[in-house]
Amino acid sequence: MYHPMNPFPQPNTPSKFLAIAAALTGAALAGSPALVPLPVAVQPGTGTFGFSAATAIRCDASLRADADLLAADLQARSGVAPKVAAAGSQGNGANEIRLAIDADSKLVAGGYKLDVTAAGVVVTGKDAAGVYYGTRTLLQLLPPMGAAAWRDAAPAPVPALAITDYPRFAWRGMMLDVGRHFYPPEEVKRLIDWMAFHKLNVFHWHLTDDQGWRIEIRKYPKLTQVGGWRDSSPPYGNRDSDDGQRYGGFYTQAQIKDVVAYAAARHITIVPEIEMPGHAAAAITAYPELGNVDVPGYAPKVMTRWGVHPYIFAPTDATLRFLEDVLGEVCELFPSKFIHIGGDEAPKTQWQQSKVAQDVMRREGLKNADELQSWFVRRMGKFLESKGRRLIGWDEIQEGGLSKTATMMVWRDAKWAKHALALGNDVVMATTSHTYFDYYQAPAATELAKGKEYEAIGGLLPLEKVYSYNPTFVADNPAQEKQILGTQAQLWTEYIGDMKKVEYMAFPRVAALAEVAWTPLAAKNYDDFSRRLAGVMKHYDGGHLNYAKPVPPPVRATKDGSTLETSLGSYTDHWPELAFDGRSDTFFWADRSLKSGDHLTLHLKAALAAATPVTVITGGPASQHGDALAAGVLEISADGGTWLTLAEFAAGKASGSAPAGTRHLRLRVTAPQENWLIVHEISLGNPQSLSERR
């Protein structure tokens, strides 16, 4: 069933088909090909199809553009441009890749079937998008770019199989912030290509912010002439400093049209975002009359620092007309049904200080500044409706009352999603917990040991946590599940200065999110995903994608079978065993304040054969308090009954030489401590530096 007014309907696939598909996928799981996202159903065949210089592509006339894209992709890999022919032209079907649409198929929009035999390949889609997704699966089945198979005279093999596939969610996206850092159009296109590789279909383009306005608006040229440039930026490693270099850039309308068309050809919709009413300093600097000119100290400038800044659009008729003019040009450039108006982190201080804003509140009967923002958003929503579009905004748009027609992009907390769902509004799940790819993907210390250019905004979002996401966890019933359009990754770029860093922060986490958004929940399996991802990363290598090497998730086990016990509980999954697992990126983290006598005790699998240096380092950047041990001793024992003090902790560290025969080591707290406790690796032997161990 389609949700009313929902241009992104959710699949309504019979449960019987789902059960059969799950059985087929499960049966093939152990030997399933390296495909991400995992298809709904995979049935292995016998033999292989050999792609060669003689292979042709045959298609319906309506699929010529998709066939040409596939031909270009195959040429980039093989050096050979396959001939593209119409479906009705002469041909015997052998050694061909055939593309077709079956509009009567029971599959949902975007669904496809891929049949590979020794004789040829057939991709049949419910629609053109489905055909295109089938060709992306075919590319993943082929050897990666640069592989030996492409240099040999023999045909490149594709395993015989039958795939039936369709997306779980209709909104499968990625957001790129170009307000903080600007990326040229050709680099944006490259990112779109890699999105398409994993069947993502929404590119959310965050085009304006306090630090820069990146879209040409012909009626207001100073938006880019003035608002597109800032005097300085914080350098990596010192976020409260300046590099003193003028920075900026913007996309012309011709460039935007080109990128929009490029994405559309790959069945990706670009959803533009124009921030309002907050994050507006760049626009207000270009046209100061748009701001709250009657507040004390009014002096807008394009911001040179990250974070939230006070400049917010004035709630005046002139400013609202300006924004309608801007959105009018945006609608001409972007055919997307949705237009994003931001709405997040809008400080209300200037509205509270402005007599003009206060007069508007009294005139409109608004109780507070939150209601003024919702009034502002409703005005924009009505304008967009007049253009046949739908407003989408970050979850703050509901704090003063949510418009019935607005769609909410949830970034902060599940409660905001639950509120919107209860009201009947659609949502896109984009929560910080699982989709903020500007967070570190390995512990900060591990990343920063590679260089200050690896700095991130903070947080920790490893690959396995992205994969664990279930966007429908906020729904209370099946009807609410249908209101969840899908999910997307967020790439806020304060600390992402170039496209090389974008790729590093995005991949392979994009692969995990793609599987969250596409694959049936019951079919997901992280171990199998990791195995398949290893094959997909060969395609990354072939395409020279600057991806991050995945860090294995922690395992609750020591490195050699030794055991640990403690009087303390563990904070989340920072188990005691992680203090002796041989990894620098894991640690034990207690879940409460410390009492005298609390301990962490290591029972070695075998007694030390000779005198051995022992080092225990506590505390770390994971905690804002440091959580180092302030008062404690490091003790040793041969029998677990008689203990000797080896060293006292000073500045969170203790070290000494344990004699031969030592079987037990104990960290013991000697005075109460309000802060919790972090214990990194207990090192036996000469401890290596972090950079040496990574």
Residue 249: its pLDDT value, please?
98
Alpha helices, DSSP H only, in 266-337?
A: 281-286, 317-333
From residue 483, alpha-carbon distances to 6, 106, 110, 242 in Å are: 8, 22, 19, 44
Asked if residue 58 lies in contact with residue 99, where contact means CB atoms within 8 angstroms, the answer is yes
Q: Give percent above pLDDT 70 in the chain.
A: 93
Q: Are 281 and 311 in contact (CB under 8 A)?
A: yes
Nearest to 483 by CA among 382, 406, 412: 406
With contact defined as beta carbons under 8 Å apart, do 64 and 37 qualify?
A: no
How high is the pLDDT of residue 98?
97
Handedness of CA 671, 672, 675, 679 (dihedral sign): positive
Decide which of 165, 195, 230 is a domain's last residue.
165
Co-location of 182 and 156 in the same domain:
no
Dist. CA 615–CA 679, nearest whole Å: 11
pLDDT band at 138 (very low <50, low <70, confident <90, very high): very high
Task: Kindly state whether residue 553 falls inside one of the protein's structural domains.
Answer: no
Taking 60 as the threshold, does the pLDDT of residue 236 lie above it?
yes
In a domain, 32, yes or no: no
CA distance 175 to 433: 16
Kindly state whether residue 436 falls inside one of the protein's structural domains. yes
Weakest-pLDDT range from 29-33, 52-56, 95-99, 461-465:
29-33
For the chain, what is the domain count? 3
Same domain flag for 48 and 146: yes
pLDDT, tens only, 84-134: 998 766 555 679 999 999 999 999 999 999 999 999 999 999 999 999 999
Rg of the chain on CA atoms, in Å: 28
Spatial CA neighbour of 152 closest among 52, 48, 38: 52
Same domain membership, residue 617 and residue 533: no
Instruction: Place 9 in a pLDDT band, splitting at 50, 70 and 90.
Output: very low
Residue 471 sits in a domain whose CATH number is: 3.20.20.80
Question: What's the pLDDT tens digit per position in 539-568?
Answer: 999 999 999 999 887 889 999 999 999 999
pLDDT band of 27, cuts 50, 70, 90: very low
Task: Give the pLDDT confidence of 146-158 residue by residue, as tens digits.
Answer: 888 888 778 899 9
Residue 399's alpha-carbon distances to 285, 402, 408, in angstroms, are 27, 7, 11
List residues with catalytic annotation.
209, 279, 345
CATH number of the CATH domain containing 132 = 3.30.379.10
Q: Is the pLDDT of residue 277 over 60?
A: yes
The domain boundary residue, chosen from 542, 575, 610:
542
Question: Are residues 412 and 449 both part of a single domain?
Answer: yes
Residue closest to 202 by CA, chosen among 30, 340, 23: 340
33 assigned to some structural domain: no
pLDDT digits (tens, 9 = 90+) for 83-94: 999 876 655 567
pLDDT (0 to 100) of residue 623: 80
Indicate the range of 11-25, 450-464, 470-484, 604-618 predicted with least confidence: 11-25
362 is a domain residue: yes
Residue 552 covered by a domain: no
Domain match, 498 and 606 both: no
Residue with tokens 């270099």, as numbered in its chain = 245
Q: Which residue has the higher pLDDT, 313 or 555?
A: 313
**Higher pLDDT pick, 526 / 26:** 526
Instruction: Tell me the mean pLDDT in the region 371-380.
Output: 96
Q: Is residue 683 part of a domain?
A: yes
pLDDT at 5 over 90: no
Element (H, E) at 277: none
Given this model, what pLDDT does residue 31 score? Answer: 59
Residue range(s) defining the domain that contains residue 123: 41-165
**Same domain, residue pair 201 and 152:** no
- CA 201, CA 337: separation in Å to the nearest integer? 13
Q: How do strand 664-669 and strand 632-637 relate by DSSP bridges?
A: antiparallel
Spatial separation of the C-alpha atoms in residues 138 and 549, rounded to whole Å: 24
Mean pLDDT of the chain: 92
Q: Out of 165, 183, 213, pick the residue that ends a domain.
A: 165
User: Residues 465, 488: one domain?
Assistant: yes
3-state secondary structure of 534: helix
Residues 228, 211: one domain? yes
- Sorted by sequence, the CB contacts under 8 Å of residue 675 that are 6+ apart come out as 593, 594, 623, 625, 626, 627, 628, 630
Question: Would 31 be classed as within a structural domain?
Answer: no
496 and 645 share one domain? no
CA distance 332 to 336: 10
Which residue type does 21 have? Answer: A
- Rounded to an integer, the average pLDDT of 316-326 is 98
Give the model's confidence band at 694: pLDDT under 50 very low, under 70 low, under 90 confident, else very high: very low
Within this chain, do residues 221 and 276 fall inside the same structural domain, yes or no? yes
Report the pLDDT value the prediction gives residue 389, as an integer from 0 to 100: 97
| pLDDT computed for residue 88 by the predictor | 67
What's the rounded mean pLDDT across residues 165-178?
98
Distance between CA atoms of 645 and 648, rounded to whole angstroms?
8
Q: What pLDDT is attached to residue 26?
A: 43
Do 158 and 197 fall within a single domain? Answer: no
Task: Please state the three-class secondary structure of 588-649 as a single string.
Answer: EEECCCECCCCEEEEECCCCCCCCEEEEEEECCCCCCCCCCCCCEEEEEECCCCCCEEEEEC
Buried b (16+ CB within 10 A) or exposed e, 325-352: ebbebbbebbebbbbbbbbbebbbebbe
Do 415 and 511 fall into the same domain?
A: yes
Q: What is the pLDDT of residue 552?
A: 82
CATH number assigned to the domain comprising residue 586:
2.60.120.260
- Strands ordered across the beta sheet of 588-589: 588-589, 678-684, 612-618, 653-658
Cβ-contact 70, 57 below 8 angstroms: yes
